[in-house]
Amino acid sequence: MARRSVARSLLNNLLSNKLEPCSRITASRSVTYMPRPGDGAPRAVTLIPGDGIGPLVTEAVEQVMTAMHAPVYFEKYDIRGDMKQVPQEVIDSIRRNKVCLKGGLKTPVGGGVSSLNVQLRKELDLYASLVHCSNLPGLPTRHENVDIVVIRENTEGEYSGLEHEVVPGVVESLKVITKFCSERVAQYAFEYAYLNNRKKVTAVHKANIMKLADGLFLESCREVATKYPGIKYNEIIVDNCCMQLVSKPDQFDVMVTPNLYGNLVANTAAGIAGGTGFMPGGNVGAGHAIFEQGASAGNVGNEKLLDQKKANPVALLFSSAMMLRHLQFPSFADRLETAVKRVITEGKHRTKDLGGHNTTQEVVDAVIAVLD
Amino acid sequence: MASQILRRVVRSCSGGILSSPANHHHSSLLPALTRAFSSATPITATLFPGDGIGPEIAESVKQVFQAADVPIEWEEHYVGTEIDPRTQSFLTWESLESVRRNRVGLKGPMATPIGKGHRSLNLTLRKELNLYANVRPCYSLPGYKTRYDNVNLVTIRENTEGEYSGLEHQVVRGVVESLKIITRAASLRVAEYAFHYAKANGRERVSAIHKANIMQKTDGLFLKCCREVAEKYPEITYEEVIIDNCCMMLVKNPALFDVLVMPNLYGDIISDLCAGLVGGLGLTPSCNIGEGGIALAEAVHGSAPDIAGKNMANPTALLLSSVMMLRHLNITDKAERIQNAIINTIAEGKYRTADLGGSSSTTEFTNAICNNL
């Protein structure tokens, strides 16, 4: 009699679903990754805080990494966006460590200085830039079901930097497209789609006007598409693409684009998914990778954000999770992402761009508090 | 035909604007921006109905103009079936001369003929009439709900140079170069028009969109020209926005922007993006401005051959473009009346064409607008 009532009360408990949130997570079977012996040795990562809100958000990442006891240690280098070129010691450090985490480097408008971001990408031949734009649960936006990855060719195209004045008042800028670069970025896009179980790759172009240049890009994409018959491939003109992004973004999955269009499409996609504050991204090449905030909309935050220390660290935290996976520390990456997502979904600690009024430090503290 | 010429000669004698309609060389006329007229003197405008749904929506425009008593006389021209050697395209020399003479025109959607040996229709119009600025006002239509409901901006795009110069070549196998040209003359011209338009239409802010941190000389030159013109209009706020920031802010908060002036490629992308914010190309008006004050308003949507002739087409884009044409001619009171009638008809929701989610025919929709005048 007593046993039956105990059994019934146990059954009632289970059915009423009164489990605590923490125990709900640990009750399910956790994913396990089998490392090679020696994988746990600490890895050096070059850290470039950068300008504007850069130092603030990179410090957030450092704090979280320390709290997690992640096997990474940072070699910090201070460079500013208005330096003439990236110091050789920074390049050497990245070549040595193979992985870098970077805040934003502000490129001054108007002339004289070429962008340090572009310089880093060209020096290290980081030919693909990746931005992952997706809705965060708990954050309402105008568009739902956004999950777009924009892969952008990072070294040539309109950013070749080849400009000259023909006669006073007439300036020419060269846009260079090569088969070599188009092919390797298309190859990266399809390989990424295959490895991440993505179903469709869309090439963005303006080949109806720039027939030879974008035509060459499309040709390379089509050739690579034939090697991946399981992945759907289609093409879209860039102005139609932007129009579709603001009306029906769920039709896009992975997008591969030349340099300039990629910049625009990535920022548009980031905007519709909720803003640049939490989109992770990185630049990758054959030998090196630099992780940074995915879409930065060309700025490094305004002064008010800096003074009040209210910059949003979520984007860089997600990017550092991507970096941890790249370094083959996937369990740390999972823990970091789960903690950050929980903090955002709970909604109690959010910076201004996500609708809250907390400072960077408060968000970081909240993330560290829910790390398990 | 003879009576038409007679009528035109009589009108021109009284108006004193033209010497003879048969005279192909016209002296530099007063730009239509400053044309003074009396409501009794009808203005001749060229009309290209176009293909597909073009003729039906052109009929709508004619009907609404008649109901509103607008002093416009239409001179209709159609795209030919043979290539005219004088223009290298299917548009005849007479059509182009008509636009040059009348200074204003309205163009419906034209299907691009396939084949070689001729220039595209849009390219022909642009080059022959020297259309240097494309103006697209984008405002949320009350009553047609999209995800954005506070859009009220105008995009002004340089239309002749930039990345669309068509100058590409293959350097060696597998390496292609494409030239982007920016000139001081063209940039100044479009900046002048942008500020003039802002002032004439009561706009407070002009934003120049650029990527001058990367393309320092080309976009830098464009910005320099914009700054020069901005100094002449101290009452209008001028700002410069990098294009990736602009894209992001447009999709997050389009109310931040007022008038946008841009070089060719960015203008193409941003104007289509803004059209997407308010409901697509089927509702967006557009007007091309040419040298000497020529204005060619056009509907930028396609010719929709699948619904042609079925009385289902939505004439809103062409009607709003004709309103732009009227504003360019300074017939602002009629323009306001027609625009309000269109907006109220869509807002009421009783008569809407199929693409807006309703079931009215083109004629029913047009009649509703005429009743709302």
Q: What is the pLDDT of residues A87-108, one digit of tens each?
A: 999 999 999 999 999 988 887 7
What pLDDT is recorded for position B81? 77
For residue B304, the model assigns a pLDDT of 83
**Residue B300 pLDDT greater than 70, yes or no:** yes
DSSP A161: -
* Residues A349 and A358 sit within 8 Å (Cβ to Cβ): yes
Interchain contact, B220 vs A173, CB within 8 Å: no
Q: Which residues of chain A lie closer than 8 angstroms to B173, CB-CB?
A: 179
A158 reaches B (C-beta below 8 A): yes
Residue B3 confidence (pLDDT) = 52
> So what's the pLDDT on residue B13?
44
pLDDT band of residue B28 (cuts 50, 70, 90) is very low
Q: Looking at per-residue confidence, does A298 or B78 come out higher?
A: B78
Quickly state the pLDDT bin for B18 (edges 50, 70, 90): very low
**Is A33 part of the contact surface with chain B (CB cutoff 8 Å)?**
no
Mutant choice from B138, B213, B257, B281 vs A, greatest count of A C-beta within 10 A: B213
The shortest C-alpha distance from B10 to chain A (Å) reads 45
Partner residue facing A268 (CB), from B174, B211, B248: B248
Report the chain B residue with the minimal C-alpha distance to residue A159.
B214
Average pLDDT over residues A37-49: 93
- Residue (of B54, B211, B185) closest to B130 by Cα position: B185
> Residue B153 half-sphere exposure, CB side, CA atoms within 13 Å?
30
Smallest CA–CA distance, residue A82 to chain B, in Å, is 11
* pLDDT over 60 (residue A250): yes
Weakest-pLDDT range from B33-37, B214-218, B226-230, B280-284: B33-37
Q: What pLDDT is stored for residue B115 in this prediction?
A: 66
Q: Is the pLDDT of residue A70 over 70?
A: yes
Say what the pLDDT of residue B360 is. 87
Report the pLDDT value the prediction gives residue A22, as an integer from 0 to 100: 46
**Contacting residues for A266 by C-beta, under 8 A, at least 6 apart:** A129, A131, A133, A150, A152, A281, A294, A295, B244
Query: Hey, of B273, B277, B278, B284, which one would you mutate to test binding to chain A, going by the most A CBs within 10 A of its CB?
Result: B273
DSSP A105: -
pLDDT digits (tens, 9 = 90+) for B54-100: 999 999 999 999 999 999 999 999 887 788 888 778 888 888 899 99
- Tokens 């640990």 -> residue: A26
Cβ within 8 Å, pair A172-B181: yes
Catalytic residue list of B: 164, 211, 244, 268, 272
The span from the CA of A297 to the CA of A301, in Å, is: 9
**Contact A109/B251, CB-based, under 8 Å?**
no
B245: which chain A residues are within 8 Å (Cβ-Cβ)? 267, 297-299
Residue type, B283: L
Residue in B with minimal Cα distance to A106: B213
Taking residue A97's Cβ as centre, other Cβ atoms within 10 Å add up to 18
What is the three-class DSSP state of A293?
Answer: strand
Tell me the mean pLDDT in the region A118-145.
90
Cα–Cα nearest to B365, from B350, B357, B373, B355:
B350
Contact A243 B180 (CB under 8 A): no
Look at residue A11 in the predicted model and tell me its pLDDT.
56
Query: How many Cβ pairs closer than 8 A exist between chain A and B?
Result: 187
Rounded CA gap, A109 and A232, in Å?
Answer: 40
Q: Do the beta carbons of residue A201 and residue A256 sit within 8 Å? A: yes
Instruction: Work out the mean pLDDT of chain A and round it to a whole number.
Output: 88
Could you tell me the two tokens for A86?
A: 């990236």
- Contact call for residues A283 and A289 (beta carbons, < 8 A): yes
Length of chain B in terms of residues written: 373
Check CB contact under 8 Å for B163 and A107. Answer: no
Neighbours of A10 (CB within 10 A): 10
pLDDT at A165 over 80: yes
Q: What are the φ and ψ backbone dihedral angles of A348, each rounded to 5 degrees?
A: -85, -25
Nearest to A118 among B164, B214, B242 (CB): B214
Q: Which of B119, B136, B145, B176 to mutate to test the interface with A (most CBs of A within 10 A)?
A: B176
pTM for the predicted model, two decimal places: 0.85
* 8 Å CB contact of B179 and A175: yes
pLDDT over 80 at A292, yes or no: yes
- Report chain B's mean pLDDT, rounded to a whole number: 85
B296 close to B287: Cβ distance less than 8 angstroms: yes
Is the per-residue pLDDT at B232 higher than 70? yes
Distance from CA of A355 to the nearest CA of B (A): 13
* CB of A344 closer than 8 Å to CB of A312: no
What are the Cα distances from residue B283, in Å, to A343, B108, B327?
42, 13, 18
Please count the CA atoms within 13 angstroms of the CA of B253 that sit on its side-chain side.
5
Q: Measured between beta carbons, which residues in chain A are less than 8 angstroms from residue B215?
A: 158, 163, 173
Does A263 contact B at CB distance below 8 Å?
yes
Residue B230 Cα, gap to closest chain A Cα (Å):
17
Q: Which of B242, B269, B280 sits opposite A239 (nearest CB)?
A: B269
User: Using CB atoms and an 8 Å cut-off, which of residues 164-183 of chain A contact chain B?
Assistant: 164-165, 168-180
Nearest-CA distance from A173 to chain B in Å? 5
pLDDT at B21: 39
* The pair of three-digit structure tokens given for residue B83, joined into one six-digit string: 């290539």
Residues with Cβ < 8 Å from A335, sequence gap 6 or more? A68, A371, A372
